[in-house]
Structures are given as structure tokens and as C-alpha cells.
A and B are shown apart, each in its own frame.
Chain A
């Protein structure tokens, strides 16, 4: 077995509360900058959804010293690539630049952290509102099976639980967001003391830290709103829904709440999804796709969510296969493991695939920086980089059996089925429960 790599990591904190993680690596003349703000869709409220994601878009529209259309222009003219993403728990911004342009990245990130609002306008909001509306249409409303994920989370976390609503928000909330509301959201959450800045790549640590302090040091920290209540999901019993969509083939999703990311139970559940569905020799693929030939594709995965994790299993049916048959087959594979622990070859496959993926992840500076930001934001443990994989090594087959048993016994699963239009068997209604 290969020994874990030695990865030099430094952790610092500025007076204003900004946490700074440095991971020097001079093999290539590149530097990855990564910034996590600890705010996501879970910090929104019902009827004001989609703000975190809309705000992520706004952050690329310039700030006091950066022209409206200049953020990407500044980066791309030196060969930088950049993007951002919003999740339920956090918003991240990242760029990879030739390392001689490190300060350009620091300038852009610190300007939008500290000087965004003077450059904010109703016109900018309108512009990005249209882009987000287009994005919602393209990726959710107009996309086959696109609405299934929304329904899964709504059913898993009902009521006003912070995980209930979609990250992109509901169309009516996107359309109704006002400039005042959006600006307040920024003031509340976009603070240095709510952020982690990570650099990975070609730089000299002392000089890099001095540059970070020069750009970010003057920005004031501030009091943060209270965090949403720790959203343990109240058991609501099994939830089911059937959706009709513009699709040819049925698809079934099963979703189960599991312990939060970082807890030992989360890693067990993750390894269970790898045993179940990773690779052509995994039970889901081998039984449903190759032997029974009832599924076109199968998948099993877990969400790295902060309040509560979620395991999902999915199968897309072959033509002529009923959704109930798919659902029964997915459950059967889970039940088999609940009754009999996975074999040594299956455990070996799952652990080796997990390890290969972990090593592969470390190659990209941007991915490394994102992992460091994540480990620091959630756990204040950047040193997990390259070592998180060790948390899987102590998991035994009996642990997986017990995990599968618990998933099935809790009766908390959600089942979302998507069928071709007209196939739900209850007339022309769009949705039945």
C-alpha cells in the first residue's frame, strides 16, 4: 500500500477573523486561490429562496475598483480560469492563475469581499436575474428528470427545514428578490470572519501571507446573524411521489437521511454507496443492468451536507420496465447487505476505489485548495488533506451491514419516481402522491 503523501500546510488567521490556509507546491507555475464563505441556501428563509446562488452571480459583476464586466476580463487576459458555486451549506469562489499573477487574484477577491455594495445597482441585479432564470430553465425546468431532485429534498426535509428548498431557488422567489433584500444578505454573511481563504501552488509562504494581509487585513470583521437551528430531520415516515415528465424511460430515486458529513456514520454510509454502486462489478450495475437487464443505468451516492447527510440510489429503466420493478430491485440489493455483510472482495474493491479517487483528487491544485477550504470551514482541520481517506480504513463489513439495516428500518426513506407523460396511471394530473 502506498503511504500517504507529505503535503506541507500552514494555517493562519488575520485579526479580522479571516482564516488563511497555505499549501505551497512549486512543481508547476500555477496557483489556485479558493475562498469559502460559510453561507449557503440553508441560511435563506422560505419565500426568499435562491439568494445565496443569485448573490454568487452578483459577485462576478464587479466591485468598487473592478468594472462591471471586468472580473473575467482581468483574469482571462493573463490566463486565469475562474468560477464559483453555491451549495446548501457554503458558497465558494475559485481561480487558478499563472503563479506570477497571484496578487491579481487577491486583489479581485478582497475587492468583492470588502467593496462590493458601492458598485451594486438595480440594473446589475436585473441582468443576473435573467441569467439565473435562464439557468433554472435550462438545468431544471427544461431538463429531463430535472424536477426530481427538488422534490427529493422537499420531501426529505419538509416544512421550513433549511434543506427544504432548492439551491437555485423557486422561480417566483428569484423573480421577486429586491435589491434591498439581496444587499442585506451580503452584509449579513460576506464577512472575513465567515470565510476561509486557501492558496495552493507556486508561492513562497511568507511572501504570500504578507500579500494576503495587505489585501484582506484592512477589511473589517462583523457580527454574524444567528445560524439556523441544527436541522436534524424530524422523522416523517416514508414519503412517495410520482412525477410525469418529457422522458422516454422511467427513473426511480430512493433517498435516505444519514449522519452529517464528518461523523463516523457518514463515512460508513459513503462506503456503503461505493460497495453498492461503484463500478461494473458492483451489485447495482451487475444485477440490474447486466443480469436482470431492467435498468439502463444505476447509481448510488451520498451528499456531503453539514446538518444531515443524504444517501441516494437511482435506476433508469429499460423500455417497457415498470417503475415498481426498479424500486423493488434497488431495495432488494440494500436488503441483501442488511442481511449479509459484503464479501471481502467487495470490501477490497470499495476501499481501493476510494483510495484511488482520493489520490487522484490531490493532483489538481484547485481541488486541493477546495478540500482545504472545506476541511477548515467545517472542522477547522486542514491537515485532513491526504488523510481523510484513513477514516474509511477502519470500517468493517459488519459496520456496512448495520448501516444498511438502519437505513431500511428507520422507514424515513423518500421515493421519487419519474415516468413518461401519461404513464402515471391517474389521468392527466401532473403529480400524484
Chain B
């Protein structure tokens, strides 16, 4: 073979595309209203099992941030039948792992374990969902642990930046304005009864709850085994005059109001001696159910969602300001934030912030080129199958379907829908939903160096770091 004939001057073109389809799940409904979503896969001799309940931080009463996440953290710390220690021993001796937690829209109990042990795993999840009993000693221990974690975060510039970003955008009248872990004070004020009530209302209920199972299991058999174990889950929460419950919509979602638009604001969290500054620029966004959401997330990928994004090529590659910069469009039941996040050398914080605003203005003022959009679309289409490599990756997609009430064939249509989003659409959603004149800029670093650099971006407020 004449190897010198190889022409390296242009990249090789691709061969014919090998199509991929999303493995459509089987959907079953239990008598008590709970849903089973099952996807059959032989990727590994394991099972990925997740119980997704409505108990997310969106249901926190305003004066009780941290309630949902603390309640979820205690789900494996004891039931009426087993202590937390026994639960851990049982799961881990089988080679499995348990993960209980809450996000904004859901509380989840997840277990990964060998496929042969699936029924043991289902037994355990059903037990935690029906009779978790929040032992006082464990409640106090875990609460103290989380309070210490909150203290630690005062030394994490990124955590401080995130916390002040949402406080500035949402204020104190929205659950979104508080960190999901809560504050030292709000956790301190909780009683065991608060957790029990939250659990009975939002976690241990069948309505709005989905069990996701991914592994090599025959679906009809799986449904029989699940129905038998989860039949005891009550259909609805007990009657209550809880004022938080009155704020729920028909589907159990907390109605989170869109906050008022802000005047341009700069919040500087004074952290002397920091060679790096954590930067955030953002404002509120839209619920995931908004018709513009998909186009917005495509826009965000182009703007700051991949290495070759406009923000990264500008701030990292062209200017060397940072190790990385991203734009984020959150997709929650309520209008979560849209923001840009980065860490930069302190002496270029002003210049970097300027470039961030420049890119936000640019994507609003000029339609993106067809080539840029095509490349972004191809990136999203091409990377789509990556999550299908693992059982937990597939389960994650099913979680999205479950929590946002999407159709089972949503991801089949997703790739086709991407093809319909054109430059005009991107510009329209950018103009409608990116608001540089109502953005807040957060900087965590030495205030004496940051104030002069950032005062041009809004009215400045300097906050002392409580650490």
C-alpha cells in the first residue's frame, strides 16, 4: 500500500449514519395510582432502580429551606422494620449502593445492585417508601452533619456565588431563593415532626410517584413483583390544613411565581486574598414546560454549553481568562434561573464580565449563522446516544419523562424536533428570554479589587463573607 498517498490536508468525511433509537419504556399503572416505567437492557448484569416521588425542595415552606433535602437524606436511616445500619449492611453486602436525595422537583430513592438481587432491592425501596421512621438520634446526627457542611461551603467560592445568585434573583419570597441544603438556622429550627409530615405529604404517596427499573427483566413479571410490594403505598397524602399544600397545583407541583425583573445589580462577596474570582451573571428563566424551552436549551449549548461555545472560545481560548465557562438554562417545574458561570483570575474579572455581556448581546442582536446552528444541532444529535451506554444513563432519561410528564416517545421525537429549530427561532427566544438589562452579576473575591472593575455593570452591594 502506498501510504504516502494519504491526503491529510482535510478531515475525512463520515460514512453513512448508523441510526439510534431510544429504547421506549413499558409503562404500567398500579391500582393505587403509582406508575412503573421499565426499560429492558442487557448492558450489564445489574439493575438500576429509582423511586421518583414529588417531594422536591419546591415544596419547602418559605421559612424552612432544607426540609426536603434533609427528609430525603434520612430515608435510609431507619424504618419500622430495620435500623439504618441494617439497611446499609444489607444493601452493601449484596454489592449494591443506595442513594437518597431531593432536587427541586422530586425526591428520589435509588438503588444499584446485581440483577439477581432485584427483588431484595424492591423490598427495600418499598419499605423505605412506606415506613421510614426518622429516628430522633439519626435525625439529630444528620442535621448536625449538614450544618457542618453548610459551614464548609463558606470557603467554597463557587457555592457562595451560587447561593448569592439565587438570593438576588428570587429574594426571600420564593423557595428558589434559598440553597436546597438550607441554612444553619433553618435546619436548627426543624423538628422531627416536620420531616414526618413532609414525608407523608410528598414522598410516601403513590399519586405522582414513578418507579423506574432498567435491566434485563421481563416487563410483565416485573409489574407483578412491583405491584405486590408497592400496593401498600397510600394513594394520597392524609388530609391536612398545611398552608403549603394549598399552594399546589392539580398535579402536585408547587406554583412558583416568576420574580420581578431586577435593575442591573452587582453583588460582591468579599473574600480577601483570592487569586481567583467566582463569577455568575444571570436572571430568572422559564419553566421546562414553556414552549420555548427546547429552543432555549439549544441556544444555551451554542452560547456556552460545549467546548466550542461562543463563551468558551472567547473567555478561555481567545483571552485566557479562565479554565472554563458555561451557560445554564435550568429546566424545572417553576421558572428556574438562566445564568453564566465561570472562575477567572481576579485581575481580569471586569474584562471577563464585559465579554460575557458582549456575547449575550451578540446572540440577541444578530441571528446565529446557519453553520453555527448546524454544528450545534449535530453536536446534540451526535452526543445523544452517549447516555444509553449505561443502565443509570437510560434511567436518567426516564426520570425526565416521569417528572415532567413527557410522552414515552419524547426522545424519539426529540432528534426530529431539533431539526426544526432555525436561526430565527434562536434569535427570537434569545431576545425574549435573555435580559442583559435585568441581570445580576455575582463576584466572590477581594472586594477592593473587584468594586472598581465591576461597578460599571450595575449598582454595587458588597457583602461580608460570614466565615
Contacts and interface: CB of A to CB of B under 8 A. Distances in A.
Interface in A226-265: 246-249
Contacts, number: 214
A6 interface: no
Given A80-B382, A290-B141, A65 B8 contact: yes
Contacts of B16: 100
Nearest to B19: A29
A280 interface: yes
Nearest to B383: A79
B285 to A, nearest CB: 24
Given A349-B93, A356-B113, A363 B390 contact: yes
Interface string A94-113: 00111111111011101100
Interface stretch (A33-41, A69-77, A328-336): A69-77
Interface in B360-391: 374-375, 378-386, 388-391
A409 B149 CA distance: 35
Contact of A353 (B4, B45, B76, B95): B95
B424 interface: no
B112 A248 contact: no
A284 B386 CA distance: 36
B1 A214 contact: yes
B44 A360 contact: yes
Contacts of A360: 44, 46, 112, 390
B322 interface: yes
A167 B169 CA distance: 40
A345 interface: yes
B290 interface: no
Contacts of B321: 134
Interface in B317-358: 317, 320-323, 343-345
Nearest to B317: A69
Given A138-B276, A214-B3, A74 B389 contact: no
B378 A79 contact: yes
Nearest to A129: B320
A433 interface: no
A115 interface: yes
B84 interface: yes
A279 B99 CA distance: 11
A202 interface: yes
A73 B95 CA distance: 41
Given A318-B144, A348-B93, A81 B155 contact: no
A78 to B, nearest CB: 5
B148 A345 contact: no
Max chain B Cβ within 10 angstroms of own Cβ: one of A5, A144, A365: A144
B464 interface: no
B382 A79 contact: yes
Given A76-B306, A142-B276, A214-B3, A100 B14 contact: yes
Interface residues of A, number: 79
Interface in B251-267: none
B43 A363 contact: yes
Q: Which size bracket describes the interface of B in this complex?
A: 35 or more
A65 B9 contact: yes
Contacts of B96: 356
Given A215-B6, A218-B6, A249-B148, A100 B378 contact: no
Interface string A3-37: 00100000000000000000000011110000000
Max chain A Cβ within 10 angstroms of own Cβ: one of B15, B116, B154: B15
A224 interface: no
A74 B11 contact: yes
A410 interface: no
Contacts of A345: 89, 93
A142 B46 contact: no
A279 B88 contact: yes
Contact of B20 (A29, A80, A290): A29
B385 A30 contact: yes
Contact of B85 (A130, A249, A286): A286
B308 interface: yes
A426 interface: no
A137 interface: yes
A117 interface: no
B151 A249 contact: yes
B320 A130 contact: yes
Nearest to B379: A76
B154 A280 contact: no
Given A103-B15, A356-B112, 11 more contacts: A30-B385, A30-B386, A30-B389, A64-B8, A98-B18, A104-B12, A110-B8, A281-B93, A359-B114, A360-B46, A364-B389
26 contacts: A29-B18, A30-B385, A72-B307, A72-B308, A73-B308, A73-B375, A78-B378, A80-B383, A81-B386, A100-B14, A101-B382, A107-B8, A110-B8, A135-B323, A142-B157, A247-B152, A248-B154, A281-B93, A286-B85, A352-B94, A352-B95, A353-B92, A356-B96, A360-B44, A360-B46, A365-B389
Interface of B: 1, 3-4, 6, 8-12, 14-20, 43-46, 76, 84-85, 88-89, 91-97, 112-116, 141, 144-145, 148-149, 151-152, 154-157, 274-276, 306-308, 313, 316-317, 320-323, 343-345, 374-375, 378-386, 388-391, 467
